Structure 1
Amino acid sequence: MQDIIFIDGGSLPTPEGITREWVKTAAENRDEDEKLFSLVREAFRRKIDVGVHVPTYPQFRDMIGQFLDIIKNEKNCYEPYVLKEENAKILELEIIDEVAKQYREETGETLEVRVCIAGPTDLYLQTFGATDYVDAYHVLALDIEDFIKQAFEAAKNFKIKVIALDEPSLGINDRIQFSDSDIVSALTVASAYARKQGADMEIHLHSPLKYKLICETPINVIGFEYAASPSYLSLLNKEVLENSNTFIRLGVSRTDISGLIGIVNETYGVNAWKEKEYMQKIVTDLETPETVKKRLETAYSVLGDRIKYASPDCGLAFWPDQELAFKLLENTAKGINEFNAEKMRPEE
């Protein structure tokens, strides 16, 4: 029985005094590299320190914008939207390589990393809206393949364990005009290279409604937001997953910060946005290691060893501060580790 591996969604709140707009500008202009690199490396180190088994590069920029800005820049392309592979770079991967090098020197082990990239469907919706230009959809999928190829080039001192496509619109957005076969084709183009390299290919969905469609692609890990929506578990058929050799990345801690604060406000009769000390209740009373462990136990009783990864539901970009976000990651790590320890323990 394999241990369930703890990965994270990627995004984090910026430290106090630094805005996401500053990070975006600094990454584009490259005129404050020392400050930017320090920010990213420190966050990445903390992910490792709080117990994330396979950390994602820290994301302080808009997921879609980070990739679309490169694709839309004519200087980076042969023709509109047709990216030159050498320009399909994720700056954060170059930044974290130094941390990975130190990690190997200290532990003697190569750090495994998760790389998250905006998926072709969400990139398309942001660019073209509710249309069905299949050729353009295909071009964006090829662009993503270029980002993935360059990610492997950047991985000098770490190993890419997981490439994840962020596709929250699939299964919840009725503006998608493409046929199922178009979607399968685009996801196949975007994911084939990573699978050839031996990495797991994940798709991050909010809802698993379209999971059977994903099972027709090279994508072998489906991630969805189980912690906030436990009923999603009933949508999955373990046999379908087994027949396509598809695994699950299960969201086991809630990240919907407004919903969590709403529970705190109702429970304690406060406004936690103003009385900020009450925000700690999210990680001391609600999203505790015990809660995480119980969610895993429930899901494991249904899906068993189809669950390969566990994580928070989504990214933490819009949490109130970094300390609260890292505490959630730490609680998630403890809950997953406790579940693994009990699962591996022989029956009495």
Structure 2
Amino acid sequence: MQDVTFIDGGSLPVPEGVTRDWFKAAAESRAEDEKLFSLVREAFQRKIDVGIHVPTYPQYRDMIGQFLDIIKDEKNCYEPYVLKEENAKILELEIIDEVAKRYKEETGETLEVRVCVAGPTDLYLQAFGTSMFRDAYHYMAMNIDRFVRKAFETAKNFKIRTIALDEPSLGMNDRIQFFDPDIVSALTLASTYARQQGADVEIHLHSPLKYKVVCETPINVIGVEYAATPSYLDLFDREYLETSGTYVRLGVSRTDIGNLIGAINEKYEVNAWKEKEYMQKIVTEMETPEVIKKRLETAFAVLGDRIRYASPDCGLAFWPDQELAFKLLENTAKGIDAFNAENRGTE
């Protein structure tokens, strides 16, 4: 079988001494590029160093706001909410190109990268709420396709392996008024260019309740948060995935930091938010490489080679600090690598 590829969700806790508001302001004003570029590049290099096979650009800005702010700015558009392609830029991709160039010079290989963008449904809900305007939903999908096109133009020294559409509302938010054919149409449009370029297109769903709708689109990878909710595995029909040519990205390490710390507090009768040394037990006792490998083994027994990617459940933006977040990423890498090595040995 093919090795399972380790990807990450993108977001991280901000480095010490800066805030998410600072990153937003710096990206928009471009007044502190030297500091901004340095912090993004350092985090991206660390993702490579801890063993992520296909890293996502470090995301320090709000996922939806990062894209919607550009779309809502009239000077970036032909008409309201119709984005000009030249303005559909993901700044972080320009920043990490220098790291990818160095990687190529040092290894002789081209770095593969995952690019995550907000999906059309979540963008629409943020912009318009529960009102149903099909034209506007179509525009959001079209805009996402333009961000994807621009991303491929930006990739001078790296290869985009995966485009991920972040759609946590699908299957979780009962405010969505669109019918399944509307959703299929929007996701098809948003993923068009990426598929033409031969990239995998992943959709990040918190819950797989809507996965059969996704299987009707060209999207070929469905990502779900399996580590925190193992029962999600029971919702998948392997034969249905095979028939539709769809694969799975499974979250195999937990990122629900509040619940993880709650378990530590209960076990040791402490407040780990204050006694921070206890937080280390998340990565030394709970989310260890052995636990992560076991989760992947359990899922493989059910889904087999439908599992193409594995990752933490979600991003790590709300973890207490970068050191703990990178330790989780390192443990995830070790668990996935051990699983792959063992499977290769049984072929």
**Cα drift, residue 240 of structure 1:** 0.5
Q: Which string of whole-angstrom CA distances, capped at 9 and with x for unpartnered residues, describes residues 246-269 of structure 1? A: 000000000000000000001110
State the one-letter code of the partner of 1:182: D
**Cα distance in 1, alignment partners of residues 127 and 72 from structure 2:** 9
Superposition map of 1:180-199 within 5 A:
180-199=180-199
Q: Quote how far apart the aligned CAs of 1:57 are.
A: 0.3
Could you tell me which residue of structure 2 aligns to residue 239 of structure 1? 239
Give the match for residue 115 of structure 2. Answer: 115
CA distance in 1, matches of 2:134, 2:79: 17
- After superposition, residues 136-175 of structure 1 pair within 5 angstroms as 136-175=136-175
Q: C-alpha displacement at 1:346, in angstroms?
A: 3.0
Report the identity percentage: 79
1:205-251 Cα distance to aligned partner (Å, 9 max, x none): 00000000000001000000000000000000000100011000000
What residue in structure 2 maps to residue 286 of structure 1? 286
Cα displacement (A) at 1:192? 1.2
Q: CA deviation at 1:142?
A: 0.2
Helix, strand or coil: the match of 1:151? helix
Q: Report what 1:58 is aligned to.
A: 58
SS at match of 2:67: helix
Whole-angstrom distance in 2 between the partners of 1:39 and 1:346: 42
2:276 match = 276
1:338 aligns with 2:345: no
Partner of 2:213: 213
Find the counterpart in structure 1 of residue 299 from structure 2.
299
Distance 2:259 2:81 in 1: 38
User: What is the TM-score with the length of structure 1 in the denominator?
Assistant: 0.99
Q: Which stretches of structure 1, 4 residues or longer, exceed 2 Å deviation after superposition?
A: none
1:130, 1:136 → 2: CA distance?
12
What's the C-alpha RMSD, in Å, of the aligned pairs?
0.5
Show the counterpart of 2:263: 263
Partner of 1:70: 70
The one-character-per-residue Cα deviations of 1:64-113 (angstroms, maximum 9, x if unpaired) are 00000000001100110000000000000000000000000000000000
TM-score normalized by structure 2? 1.00
Shift of 1:328: 0.2
Aligned AA for 1:265?
N
User: 1-side partners of 2:240 and 2:122: how far apart?
Assistant: 26
Shift of 1:147: 0.0
Q: Partner letter of residue 56 of structure 2?
A: T
How far apart are the structure 1 equivalents of 2:192 and 2:29?
32
Question: What is the distance in 2 between the residues matched to 1:53 and 1:253?
Answer: 16
The alpha carbon displacement at 1:131 in A equals 1.3
Unaligned runs of 5+ in 2: none
What do the CA deviations read for 1:143-188 (whole angstroms, capped 9, x no partner)? 0000000000000000000000000000000000000000000000
User: May I ask how many residue pairs the two structures share in their alignment?
Assistant: 347
